[in-house]
Amino acid sequence: MRQFIVLLQKELIKIRRDSFLPKLILSFPILIMLISPMLATMDVRNVNVAVVDLDHSTTSHRIISHIKASEYLSLVGATSEFDLAMERLEEGRVDVIVQIPDHFERDMGVSTPEKISIIANAVNATKGTMGTQYVIQTIAHALVEVRNEKNPNQMSELVTVQNRFNPTLNYRHYMIPALMIIIFILVCGFLPALSIVEEKEVGTIEQMNVSPVSRFTFTLSKLIPYWAIGIFVLIAAMMIAHLVYGLLPAGSFWVILLGTVLFILTISGFSLTAANFSDTMQQIMFILFFFIMIFILMSGLLTPIDSMPDWAQTFTLLLPPRYFVDILRSVYLKGTTLSELWQDFVALGSFSVLFNILAAVTYKKQA
Amino acid sequence: MSEIVISVRNLTKTFGNFIAVNNISFDVYKGEIFGFLGANGAGKTTAMRMLSGLSYPTSGKGTVAGFDVSREGEMIKRHIGYMSQRFALYNTLTVGENINLFAGIYGLSKKSAEKRTEELLAELKFSSERNTLVKALPLGWKQKLSFAIATVHKPDVVFLDEPTSGVDPVTRRQFWEMIYKAAEGGTTIFVTTHYMDEAEYCSRVSIMVDGEVRALDTSTRLKEQFNAESMHEVFRTLARDAERGELET
């Protein structure tokens, strides 16, 4: 026990006296949580819309004023010449053209009115599709409004769209759990691995290997400070999410904490295993970067796993962060409970056991 | 002579086709200062690493402090001190913190660690440097501190791998005084060195060439045997035919 305490003290002193590490640990989560959500946004704003109005009716004016009023759309202008609007689209000054056909209002009551056509510039695919969606919604609202005024008794809306769990479709709310995970990977994965490889490079690990310290005690004394830092980071990140973005977890904090603990155990065990196979900083950095790229691209952090090809979806089952992404997002946004997520927890728990055993087995005191 | 502390029989270590240590055998007695000489690359460090439980022998047998080197490495580690060729204390810890760390590692209680720290600092005349970061110490002082820490738990055997290389003559002298003092206290010293004058300070000397022990005796008898005036000459005679490693003169 005394052995463990002095080793832990050593680790804490080393972190504290490091010229860079304490600053990194403090500033890293804050910076990532504050700045990244603004940059990593897929929200589409300022979609430039031109309206080709051939109808010049109350309805078409209503549509134009709705577009004007939308916070996502900005009206470039209304014209009756389609070619002019098309020219603007080619120049890139207009993203979406809405063409309202002649006699649209008159024919609305008739069975087969001529349709409104929407032309979008889809070079930027996201902006094209999202912009079109916004325009369709805006027009639908305008039309429903017009119809209600004419026949107040009619069923008010034929279609309703409701975005559950992230009601404003705020991309930040989707991203924040993912950013937290990236922070855990870096703080609890990179740092202990680098610390071990540093001891190898400096030679101090040999002094440990020739002492009676068991590899279990040594490894644990390395990890515990970073586990504690990981929990600190979780709380800091959750506070920032609440104070800055108004995002509170819909589910239980304890479920999030349990998931985080399992994930921290997994990722630190994983990186220690990598450290055991590396003798230099370059080696460990390269190995970790390789895996972390895969984790970030394939764990559903940024892009949904469901839209990946089948083989890739199967492959993601081998990636521990995938389960934590699922846990953190569903608890945060949907309020999912532990019993609903048991499969994710079992998977994550198994990975944590596996990697830590691997880390202990691959650490050799005698070669 | 008195009891045997290190006993080695036909110890061999190979890395692929390379035979680093080839079939060496010797005994080291309690309280001895055993000099382990050889050119660079002769296999001294490899042999020492096998004896201190850092490396498994490919074949042969060895016991240190009564424990088998292949099977009881972890038991050996409780009874030995080891000072590596590279300085291996924690640079960002102070002198006092380093001593306390290793005292704790070797199982000294908090109270006895504190007492031992005072003792060692007094021996080293380091009391004023207790709170100095180790990285700020000059090389000679670092080496003395490393030796003191290798003996923090009063081990049966201390392995020293080129402890005085790069150290000035005055500090080397002080270093050897520390070695003598430890040996008088019953600790066996197993030391590798390049300095032939230091070989004369050892109770017995072995000389390794190309992975084999070519000579083993007291320095006086070695000089007689090789009809040489100094250990330097003995070493040159033996190492002249070495196939690997450059000659250290």
pLDDT tens digits, one per residue of A100-116 = 888 888 877 666 767 88
* Of A195, A204, A197, A213, nearest in space to A7 by CA: A213
Q: Residues A54-80: what's their mean pLDDT?
A: 86
Cα A340 to Cα A188, A327, B106, distances in angstroms: 27, 10, 49
Question: Are A72 and A51 contained in the same domain?
Answer: yes
Asked if A16 and A77 sit in the same domain, the reply is no
| A80 and A174 within one domain | no
Copy the structure tokens of residue B49.
């690493």
If DSSP codes are grouped into helix, strand and coil, which group holds residue B9? strand
In this prediction, residue B245 carries a pLDDT of 59
B202: tokens are 């050892």
Q: Tell me whether residue A158 is in a domain.
A: no
CA A193 – CA A295 distance, rounded (Å): 17
Summary mean pLDDT of chain B:
89
Quick one: pLDDT band at residue A352, thresholds 50, 70, 90? Answer: very high
AA letter at B76: I
The reply to whether A133 touches chain B by the CB within 8 Å rule is no
Q: Tell me the CA end-to-end span of chain A in Å, nearest whole number.
A: 26
Minimum distance, in Å, between the CA of residue B1 and any CA atom of chain A: 29
Residue A223 shares a structural domain with residue A291: yes
pLDDT tens across A173-225, in order?
788 888 889 889 988 998 999 999 999 999 899 999 999 998 888 989 999 99
* Dihedral (CA of A65, A67, A72, A74) sign: negative
Q: pLDDT tens digit string along A227-280?
A: 999 999 999 999 998 998 888 888 899 999 999 999 999 999 999 999 999 999
In a domain? residue B41 = yes
Average pLDDT over residues A313-328: 92
What mean pLDDT do residues B169-182 have?
Answer: 91
The β-bridge relationship of strands B204-209 and B212-217 is: antiparallel
Chain A contact probe: residue of B92, B94, B99, B142 with most A CBs at under 10 A: B92
**What CATH number is attached to the domain comprising B227?**
3.40.50.300
Q: DSSP code of A231?
A: H
Range B226-233 average pLDDT = 86
Mutation pick from B100, B105, B109 vs chain A, by most beta carbons of A within 10 Å, is: B105
- Is the same domain home to A228 and A353? yes
Both ends of chain B: CA-CA distance in Å? 33
Clarify whether residues A11 and A75 are in a common domain. Answer: no
Distance from CA of B135 to the nearest CA of A (A): 12
Residues A18 and A35 in one domain: yes
**Complex prediction ipTM:** 0.88
Q: Which residues of B touch A202 (CB under 8 A)?
A: 88, 91
Q: Which of A48, A55, A40, A103 is nearest to A77 (CA)?
A: A48
pLDDT at A46 over 90: no
pLDDT tens-digit map of B124-166: 888 888 899 999 999 889 999 999 999 999 999 999 999 988 8
Q: In chain B, pLDDT over 70 holds for what percent of residues?
A: 97
Q: Please answer whether residues A294 and A215 qualify as being in contact, where contact means their C-beta atoms are separated by less than 8 angstroms.
A: no
Which among A10, A206, A211 has CB closest to B106? A211
- Please indicate, yes or no, if residue A186 is contained in any of the structural domains: yes
Does one domain contain both A200 and A335?
A: yes
Instruction: Please report whether residue A340 resides in a domain.
Output: yes
Residue A367 lies in a domain: no
Residue numbers in B near A9 (CB within 8 A):
97, 101
The answer as to whether B248 is a domain residue is: no
In a domain, B121, yes or no: yes
Per-residue pLDDT tens over the stretch B20-75: 999 999 999 998 999 999 888 888 889 999 999 999 999 999 999 999 999 998 99
Query: What CA–CA distances, in Å, run from A219 to A180, A230, B84, B100, B122?
Result: 25, 17, 22, 20, 33
Domain span holding position B185? 4-239
Q: Is residue B245 part of a domain?
A: no
What pLDDT shows up at residue B165? 84
**Domain contains A161:** no
- The CATH number of whichever domain residue A86 belongs to comes to 3.40.1710.10
Residue B196 domain-assigned?
yes
Q: Which of B55, B90, B107 sits opposite A366 (nearest CB)?
A: B55
CA dihedral sign, ordered A55, A56, A61, A64: positive
Chain B residues close to A217, C-beta within 8 Å: none
Q: What is the pLDDT of residue A164?
A: 62
**Domain limits for position A26:** 2-40+170-362
Q: Within this chain, do residues A329 and A228 fall inside the same structural domain, yes or no?
A: yes
Predicted confidence (pLDDT) at residue A360 exceeds the cutoff of 60: yes
- Together in a domain, A145 and A193: no
Within 10 angstroms of residue B210's Cβ, the number of other Cβ atoms is 19
- pLDDT at residue A156 is higher than 60: no
Res B246 pLDDT > 80: no
Domain total of chain A: 2
Residue A41 pLDDT > 80: no
Answer yes or no: is B91 within a domain.
yes
Residue A314: exposure state from Cβ atoms within 10 A (0-12, 13-18, ≥19): exposed
A335 in the same domain as A190: yes
Residues paired with residue A118 on neighbouring β-strands, in sequence order: A98
Length of chain A, please? 367
Does residue A155 sit within a domain?
Answer: no
What Å distances lie between residue A4 and A223, A224, A248, A298, CA to CA? 12, 11, 38, 38
A103 touches chain B (CB under 8 A): no
To the nearest whole angstrom, how far is the Cα of A246 from the nearest Cα of chain B?
Answer: 42
pTM of the model: 0.79
Q: How far does Cα A71 stand from its chain's mean position? A: 24
Instruction: Give the SS3 label for residue A20.
Output: coil
A231 and A287 co-located in one domain: yes
Q: Is residue A163 part of a domain?
A: no
Q: Does residue A57 surpass a pLDDT of 60? A: yes
3-state SS assignment for residue A93: coil
> A353: pLDDT confidence band, cut at 50, 70 and 90?
very high
Average the pLDDT over A117-123 and give the result: 84
The pLDDT score that the predictor gives to residue B248 is 42
Instruction: Name the domain count of chain B.
Output: 1
Q: Following CA atoms A315, A317, A320, A324 in sequence, which dihedral angle do they give, to the nearest 10 degrees?
A: 130
pLDDT of residue B50: 93
In a domain, A157, yes or no: no
Instruction: Tell me what pLDDT residue B98 has.
Output: 93
Chain B residues in contact with A364 by the CB 8 A cut-off are none
Residue B114 has pLDDT above 50, yes or no: yes
Q: State how far the Cα of A127 lies from the Cα of B113, in Å rounded to an integer.
A: 68
Rounded to an integer, what distance in angstroms lies between the CA atom of residue A135 and that of residue A51?
11
pLDDT > 70: percent of chain A: 92
Between A6, A365, A367, which is nearest B104 by CB? Answer: A6
The residues, any chain, with a CB within 8 Å of residue A249's CB and separated by 6 or more, are A238, A256, A331, A332, A335
Identify the band that residue A80 occupies on the pLDDT scale cut at 50, 70 and 90: confident
C-alpha–C-alpha distance, residues A329 and A94, integer Å = 36
Q: ∠ CA(A64), CA(A65), CA(A67), 5° rounding?
A: 65
Average pLDDT, chain A: 86
